[in-house]
Amino acid sequence: MTRRLHVVGIGCGDPAQLTLEAVAALRGASYALVPRKRADDPLVAVRRAVLAAHASDLPLVEVDDPVRDRSARVAGDTAAYEQAVADWHAARAAAYETVLEERDGDVAFLVWGDPAFYDSTLRIVDAVLARGRVVADVRVVPGISSLQLLAAAHRIVLHEVGQAITVTTGRRLREAVAAGADNLLVMLNADLPLDGLDDWTIWWGANLGAPTQRLVAGRVGDVVDELRAARTAVQEAAGWVMDCYLLRRS
């Protein structure tokens, strides 16, 4: 029988966010696999808590995450940035392949939020299978994303009636604004690039669904200092910060 690779969206840290389908996938797997950025990676600890709540007997295999070259992103070199990401993905695929060759049975990849939004797991799994040394069927289980949690936490609809939403990253926010987008969902923020957007309205959230969740909303010019202070406080309290926000042109 062909083994199965479950790519499972686990929400944003609260075990209550897993769907019944996700729980069934975890309980049907032989082990779970996650990348580990350092020995005391707090996001691995969160995933352990998720397994403790729903699949306590499932072994968790931690794979040391290859070091990623971030110098190009800081320098703003798009081509070099994309190459650095490709190199990082290739190194991660090789690391995953090693584990999959050593261990039999179905595996669950525990993906933060939902696998469809700014996550590399599916691309890396495809790269592993393309090498030809691992044969498996891939099944994707959707999860609760931070974008859904942001809307729920602020009790808002993410778009005006009949209007579009642009989903982008912090590093490409200016590009989207210049292109005329006026309703933006922004993820993957190294910082908060909000200079010059004082009259826009923002709904911001960090570590959504976790005990360290923080929310701020209002006119950007009025709340930007509060936003930056809240982001720093979350980082210090949790040891990690993942934030996203809705920006709407006034």
Confidence at residue 211, expressed as pLDDT on a 0 to 100 scale: 93
- Residue given tokens 């975890």 in the structure block: 26
State the Cα–Cα distance between residues 128 and 126, nearest whole angstrom.
5
Q: Tell me the pairing of strands 31-36 and 60-64.
A: parallel
Cα–Cα distance list, 8 to 65, 91, 177, 220, 239 (Å)? 19, 21, 33, 35, 24
Mention the CATH class of domain 146-248.
Answer: alpha beta
Among the CATH numbers 3.90.180.10, 3.40.1010.10, 3.40.980.10, 3.30.930.10, which is that of 3-141? 3.40.1010.10
Which residues share a beta bridge with 204? 216, 245
Residues 202 and 227 sit within 8 Å (Cβ to Cβ): yes
Residue 9 C-alpha from the chain's centroid: 10
Instruction: Tell which residue, 224, 230, 210, 247, has the closest CA to residue 43.
Output: 210
Tokens read off for 163 = 């209007």
State the Cα–Cα distance between residues 124 and 122, nearest whole angstrom.
5
Amino acid (one-letter) located at 139: R
Confidence at residue 72, expressed as pLDDT on a 0 to 100 scale: 60
Confidence at residue 84, expressed as pLDDT on a 0 to 100 scale: 86
Residues 9 and 113 sit within 8 Å (Cβ to Cβ): yes
- Residue given tokens 């090789």 in the structure block: 94
SS3 232: helix
Instruction: Tell which residue, 91, 93, 86, has the closest CA to residue 121.
Output: 93
207 φ/ψ angles, rounded to the nearest 5 degrees: 50, 50
State the Cα–Cα distance between residues 128 and 123, nearest whole angstrom.
9
pLDDT by residue (tens digit) across 80-135? 888 888 888 999 999 999 999 999 999 999 999 999 999 999 999 999 999 999 99
Residue 239 C-alpha from the chain's centroid: 16
Amino acid (one-letter) located at 189: N
Domain ranges (residues) in the chain: 3-141, 146-248
Domain 3-141 and domain 146-248, same fold? Reply is: no
- Per-position pLDDT tens, the chain of length 250: 589 999 999 999 899 999 999 999 999 999 999 999 988 999 999 999 999 999 999 999 999 988 877 776 655 677 888 888 888 899 999 999 999 999 999 999 999 999 999 999 999 999 999 999 999 999 999 999 999 999 999 999 999 999 999 999 999 999 999 999 999 999 999 889 999 999 999 999 999 999 999 999 999 999 999 999 999 999 999 999 999 999 999 8
Q: What is the pTM of this model?
A: 0.91
Residues 6+ apart with CB under 8 A from 215: 153, 154, 203, 204, 205
